[in-house]
Structure formats: C-alpha cells, structure tokens
Structure 1
Amino acid sequence: MSADTSTAAQLDSFGDPENLIVREIPAPQAGPGQIRVRVTAAGLNPMDWVMTADPDTAARFGLSLPVGFGTDYAGVVDQVGDGVSDFSLGERVFGGALSRAVAGSVVVRASGDTAADEAHHTPDGIDDRTAAVLTIAGRTASAATGVIKPGAGDTVLIGGAAGGVGVFAVQLARLAGARVIGTGSAASFGHLRDLGAEPVAYGEGLADRVRALAPGGVSAAMDLFGTETVHTARELGVPDERICTVAAQVDGVPAANGANAEPGALEEIAQLIAAGRLRVPIARSFPIEEIRTAAQLQAARHVRGKIVIDLAQIIPPSRAASDA
C-alpha cells in the first residue's frame, strides 16, 4: 500500500463472504469536518454479511457495488480535514465506518454520532484489537440494557449470551447489580461463567431449566439471537416491557439496536474496559488476506467472543503518538 492507495476488502457482487476480494483502491481523502484513520484493526459482526447478502438488503443501508466490508475499526488519525478541532494527527481512535472498515484507511465525520460514521478517542490502556470490536456490539448491548433497565434484585435471562453482543450485555447487566442467566450451547458454558453468567442450554425445555436455576423467577430478559428467549420469558411471567429483542421483531416487545444507544454509551463502555471492570474476549484475529475465512467463521455465529482483522502492526497505547 502506497500513500496514494489503500488495501481494502470488497465485494463486486452481493452474497456469500466467499465473494470477498482484497485489492488496492485509491486512498480516501479527508474533506471538511472529516478525519482519515490509518486502520490497524477492524472487528467483524453478523450485520456485516447480512447487509451485503443481497441487493435489497444492501439498498436499505444505502450500499452499492463495489462495496466494502465491516463497520468497526480502530487506528490512528493520519489526516485532518478543515474545521476539525477535536482530533489531531497521531491520536488513537475507534468507531464505525459502515461497510468499509476492513481497509487500510477510512474517512469518517469528526462529529459523527452513529455507528455508520463516527470516531471516538481510544482511552489509554485499551489496545487496538479491543477498541476495534466495541462499536456495533457495544452500542447494541447498551441499548438493550437501557430497555430492560436491570438492577439489584433482578434476575435477567439473556438469550444468545455467548455471542458478540452477549459479551457486553452480560457484563453490563452484572455491573448494574443483576443476576444473569445466559443461554448457550454446552461448549459455551465455561465462556459464560467467565463473563459472570449462569449458563443454561437453549432449546426445548428452556423454561423448565430456567425455573430450576431461578425458582424465585425471572424479572427481565434480552433475546440477542431470535425469539426463543422472548417466548420463554413470557412463559415465566416477565412483562413485555421488560423484554427486549435485538435480532427479531415480536409484537408488543421492545426492540433495540445500536442506533438507540444513549449518547456517550461507547465512551462509558471504553472507560469500563480501561478501568478493568469490563473485558472483551477476542476469539480470533486474522490478516486481511484471510478475510473470507474470518467472515465465514463470523457468519456461522458460533464464535465465543469477537473476531478481528489485523491491518497493520497493533500499536500499544504508549507508542501511538510517537509512531504515527
């Protein structure tokens, strides 16, 4: 990659991650109100391949061919557009660049406040791989937690707790003082316990298994995967207003996504990580040349923790300014 070009993962046709191509493209340039980030790491999410799976879905997100891939990124500011005062050359940042994050460089709005186009200062003590997986999952978990408002005395059932959003949702509910029961496969039980959840197997008979774990009842629930947890929570007597969905719509039940997160949600999560109160397990990291393998692993939705694409040498927090 030269100063005039940027390596990027792109699709020339919508569909399976097998269609992903790594190529050199003209390096984007920061315009007024924008910054350019030299990306060191990009995090993958299920929405990455969902958005690019077919033309109709892509159109709803404003995407057209050729299209990039991935939204979460972390890196270092290497170009500052006119009118930008909040960011300087060499500063470490993280954020969202809708369907274009798996690239050597991305341009985002300095004042952006949505996962599609935003940047945040990376706190000292957080490495780039961790910062690169915060935006989508962190925003979504924060929004879902805000719907059910867990607190001391609550027992919260979280469906799909071992996934990327679950990593954050379980810990945020625990930090709020709630007891958490998380659904997953038997293979994920150790991972769930490490996060602070009491594991329970999903599938037929879930309500009975939850009753055995929590004879005093469940007071709130998040369904991060589909609708099984919603129906189980209703069977257990949880009122609809204290149930939240993320990946499905159920009449009468509030839904949450990253766009619903409160202002400052990502900064709060980042500070919790920097303070050692919240941790983010990285399941695997891949070089950009292995983007197809990484995306297919993510699409299978059996990953415990987050998947990261490395695009440059990961810069320790103390070296960012001097190496930029």
Structure 2
Amino acid sequence: MTASDNLAAMQAKRPRRRFGAAFFMREAGSPRSCCLRIAELDRDNAHRLSCAVAAALRQYWFASLPSGGIMPSTRAAVCEVLTALFALALPAAALAAPVTVVTHSTGTAYVYPTVLFALGLEEFPEEEVLPYELTLTSTFDWNAPLPARDEGAWNYGAVAVDFRMGDLHYQYAGTETSHVNLYTPSYLGGDAYLQDVSANPNGSSYGYSFDFSHMLHSPAGSMGPGGALTPMAFGGNGNENSSMGITTYYINDEFIFSWRMRGDVDTYSVQVTSAVPEPAAYGLLLAGTLTLALRRRAGRASA
C-alpha cells in the first residue's frame, strides 16, 4: 500500500463533524430558512456554537495538513467552517437590537426626609413641598418578540436614574432590574405606561435599596397600539392618575423597613428607541446567505 493510500485510509476513518451552518442548512432546507434558524439562537448558544466551530477548524487544519500541501478533504472542511462563520457572523443582537426606554417627568412632591436620607442626601430642605424632576433610563437586551399591550417586560441590564428635588440632586447608574408595561387599567381606562427601576447600590442583601417608578396616564389610544417596547415618542401633561414614586428599603437580619415618597406629575414624556444595526451587519447577513446558497448549489451539482 502506497503512502497516498495510507493517507486516504486515514482520511476515511476520521469521523465527520457536523458544523453548525451545514447542519442548519440540511435541516432547514433552504438558505433563508437556515438564516432564520440561526437567528433564533440566543446569544449564549451562538457563542458556544462559534467556539465549537473554531475548535473544529483547528483540529481539521492541523490533523489534515500533510507536508505536500492541503488535501481536498481539508479544503472541504475549511469551506464548511467558513460557511458556519459567515452564517454566525450576524449576531442575534442585530435582529433583536437593544431597546432603550426613557421616561421623564416634572411636578411637585412632599419632602420625606427618611427617603432622602436613604438616598444619601443628608441636607434636608425646610419646605414641605418642592418641585422635582425625574428621568429613568432602562436598556433591554431583548431576544424575543416584543411584548404586546398589557404584557410586561422585565430585564437585568443597564439603568440610570437622575433625580432632582429643589437644590438636591441624586444620580445612579449601574446594572439593575427594570420593569416596563403599557396597559389599560380597568379602573381608569385610557393608556398607562409604567416604568420601574429597582437597585441595590450597596451590592449586598442588607442595607438600603431603592425603587424608582413612573406611572404615566394618558387618553386611550394616545400611546399607539403596540406594547411597552414598541418604538414610540410621546409626551403630555400629567393628571391625577399620573405619579412618580420613590420607595426605599432597609433590610437587616430581623426586619424589612420601607418608606415611600410620591410626586404629582405636571409634565411627562416617554421615549422608546431600538438600536439600528450597523450596515456591516446587513453585509454579513448577505454574505452568509450567498455562501449558504452557493454551498447548496454545489452540493446539488455534485449529487
């Protein structure tokens, strides 16, 4: 048996690996369906699959590269790997872009020293009622269909709080829990947009934590037919059903204490925006689709 026959026998014994894109193409039946299947992967699965593809590429490359040149089986394996990389190059985030929710309100609120102290604002004003301004920002890394009306959305992601009351100013930014909902309260009618940001600045289960919220009410249909994460820009004047709230908590080994300060809303705005994918993302999607189409056409021609 010649050296080339030995090499061919070794190639025949090597188990064939099923690469991600090729597997999806065989299962889905068309390049378009393949891309849709890949797009359904969440970020964690896509990352794991990418790592597996990279590991398979190294194994095939170093195991199949003889001293005389690259064997056809290696070229085929590399082609399948490139197919997978092209198909995976468009991240799930490009098809389900992050959604940013910003609500803003101005109005008046009763001064509650305990709440202000829990926020670290130690100089308390003498007035009982003061004007306030509150801006809440939440970023939702959304990998699912956008929620419909009356369906709340929860997320653990980037948040920002900017609160002013008289001469006092409180700011916070971090990775915390957010909740939004666009619904029709049965006891009020109309549209209501709720945004809630909960945070534990101490990074511990004990000590002070807070919850900032907006409950913004408007006439029925004024905020559109979509849900809380549907892009929109809306503003108006507050009414007796609109409010801003700050709840602070203190937790120790035995008790949980809470205090709440409420504000009446004079003006408000709601802005929901979705990040636009980079042009390169569309180019990668096109490249992946064309690569899958060419691979499928080549496979039919050789069959």
Coarse TM-score class (shorter-chain normalised): under 0.3
Q: Scaled by the length of structure 1, what TM-score is found?
A: 0.26
The structure carrying a bigger strand percent of its residues is 2
- Which one has a bigger Cα radius of gyration? 2
Q: Scaled by the length of structure 2, what TM-score is found?
A: 0.27
